[in-house]
Chain A
Amino acid sequence: MILVYVDHDRGVLDELSLQAVSAAVALGQPVETVLIGANATTAAPRLGEFGVTNAHIAIDPRLTDYAPQAAGRAVAELVTSLSPVAVLAVGSPRGNEVLAHVGAILDLPFAADCTGISLGSGSFDVTRNRWAGNVIEEAVVHASTLIASTAPHAFTADPVIGSTPATVHEFTPTLTDADVAVRIIDRTGGGGGGGVGLAEAKVVVSGGRGVGGDGFGPLEELAELLGGAVGCSRVVTSAGWRPHAEQVGQTGTKVAPDLYIACGISGATQHIAGCKNAKTMIAINTDPEATIMSYADYAIVGDVSTVLPAIVDAVRAAKS
């Protein structure tokens, strides 16, 4: 059996976590999931659509919102009682964090950001990202139980035909006050974007050095017209032109939108690591030799300050 940690946000299932579920199903083992907090109960049966037989839910009145160490403790307790061959989660900030806690609690190795997993006995072969996917590592995990996260978008979430709803099993983990001490106590709105979140946006209009500090107006307009979000390169946030929450790249947000429009972005590896999973990429750059052009599907050679307003006008006309 493979146990998958499925994240949720106040009862709303994390779609990325379904990728880890499908990665587990593909390994040919029964798949069970673990979710944290009573507010996951209504969302859990849907996991059956993706091939999950049993959904375990950790119940404790203190688990009203995300609490990483408590989550790690609850997952570790299930690992001890159910003895899965592997424990997976998606390599999101939360997925990696919870599995790191599980690894620390059980003194087991943890392989983050895997793009390939083979099960074994006493050791496991994994393929994983280094340098945010710019280098690929083949590694062996020496452990009785594999703990691994799947690189976001390395696997697709696939519904299983003829599936039935997952059976929900509630359990009460043994949690200390220290386990629940680290938890979300408040939220403040907007990391700067205000509208659609960058990570889940279907369209990202992203700007680099070539846009200039005062040139983001047309990017915001186009993003709004297409129901998307504004992103930017590291140069832009370092210059203080845009908030850090909008940074796409190895150290920023990794996105996989339907459309990525790269405006005045040269294509440094640090940036490509964050946007290479876009389904379609359009690059606008004055330099036809810019690195970004070799990653894009479509290229427009020209200055963003004249090209983008023309696109905004054309899109607006097409919508009306």
Chain B
Amino acid sequence: MNIAVCIKRVPLSPGRWTLTADGTAIDTSGSAMGWTLSPHEECAVEAAVQLAEGGGTVTAISLGTPESAEQIRDVMAVGVDRGLLLETDGAEWDPQATAGAILDAIRNDDTAFDMVILGTESADTGDYQVGVRIAHALGWPIVTNVKGLSVSDGVARCERVAGSEREVYEVALPAVISVKDGLNIPRYPSVPGRIKARKKPIDTSTPAHPGQRLEKKSLALPPQEVGTAEVIGSGPDAAPKVVEILKEIGVLT
């Protein structure tokens, strides 16, 4: 089985973000700022690597700056075989443009993919749609929000969580699967894995930006709530006050 897995380089959350002076981007100039993948995508990579262990290849596709090669190397260290870096100049690509670039990469590749696995939404822009757009363009089915995945006889069985239940879907391959954090426990890279990753191939191309239809104008930080908590006690002695509060807000009658 040949699988494409889509990943995106995003800054590591520092607790509270800082914006650039013009308010159009997150300030990533700080020396402590690190980069990572969205948690959903770590699970997407793990799922792809596990599925390909029975025979097959995993190709990581990333649209991003040249530095995104770092994240491709990271996923190669846990078993991804090759990378396609769709290089940008750092400008934003909206979800339609992103899906289009990934779609072209899939269509132009020599590999006939059986599955595309990605995160349901990226941690940064949270658009919830790139996978769906890719699926429509390929004419493949898609299951989103997947938290359980197994494949047998060319059929992917997917589970997603709804309330206290798990919904079950089955789709014939080829298919697009967009997953959520919690699907699996992603493995850590080993030292030999890291060494091997250095020799794996990354093909770079430079897609043309089709223009933004969802166009960012500015960013802002939500107002920070500071120290409003009323300390109602320390240790077990606070219990009677908790009961009072529960009665006050109607949780306990």
Give A residues with C-beta under 8 Å from B. 9, 66, 68-69, 91, 93, 96-97, 99-101, 103-105, 107-113, 129-143, 149, 178, 181-191, 193-200, 202-203, 226, 234, 237-238, 240, 244-245, 247, 250-253, 258-259, 268-270, 279-280, 282-283, 288, 291, 293-303, 306-307, 309-311, 313-315, 318-319
Contacts and interface: CB of A to CB of B under 8 A. Distances in A.
Nearest to A295: B225
Interface of B: 13, 15-17, 19, 26, 39-40, 94-96, 120-121, 123-129, 132-133, 135-137, 139, 141-145, 147, 159-172, 180-182, 185, 212-222, 224-240, 242-243, 245-247, 249-252
A96 B166 CA distance: 18
A66 B144 contact: no
A188 B163 CA distance: 11
A293 B226 CA distance: 9
Contact of B222 (A96, A136, A280, A297): A136
Nearest to A113: B126
A97 B229 contact: no
A68 B144 contact: yes
A60 B185 CA distance: 40
A201 B17 CA distance: 30
Given A186-B167, A191-B166, 15 more contacts: A66-B167, A104-B135, A108-B213, A111-B214, A112-B127, A130-B126, A130-B219, A135-B17, A138-B217, A184-B169, A191-B164, A268-B13, A294-B227, A294-B229, A299-B230
A188 B165 contact: yes
A109 B13 contact: no
Nearest to B180: A251
B214 A141 contact: yes
A253 B17 CA distance: 22
Contact of A300 (B135, B231, B252): B231
Given A97-B128, A97-B145, A282-B245, A245 B161 contact: yes
A214 B182 CA distance: 21
A127 B155 CA distance: 40
A185 B169 contact: yes
Contacts of A244: 147, 181-182
A142 B126 contact: no
